[in-house]
Amino acid sequence: QVQLVESGGGLVQPGGSLRISCAASGFAANIPAIGWFREVPGKEREGVSCISRSGRTTNYAESVNGRFTISRDSATNTVYLQMNNLKPEDTAVYYCAAKTDTWDGCVSQRWWYDNWGQGTQVTVSS
């Protein structure tokens, strides 16, 4: 059974850092591309970053480019999102999503992904 479990969310002060994780299981040999999305009440879920199945391709939303870094550990099937210089507007529930495809790329569009985690809350506040 495919499962995605996010962890690492919490409360951090503006300018601080946080690393959230997405542990993927149940994919067998079909290593998925992983995307990170975030959602705040009243707004649509937006794409933040994604990483291809090999890890060679990554994409970032303009709002986080230069502050967030996505990476993956193939040995543990875990994808990380390192978030630096956090701002109050980064406050959201962060979700990871997975897509198995032969294409070694990724897109930050909700419609492309097949499986979703339950989300982890990130709050940036003083």
What are the tens digits of pLDDT across the range 58-87? 999 999 999 999 999 989 999 999 999 999
pLDDT at 28: 81
Residues of the chain with pLDDT under 50: none
pLDDT at 29: 79
As a whole number of angstroms, the distance between CA 15 and CA 13 comes to: 6
CB 79 within 8 A of CB 72: yes
As a whole number of angstroms, the distance between CA 103 and CA 101 comes to: 5
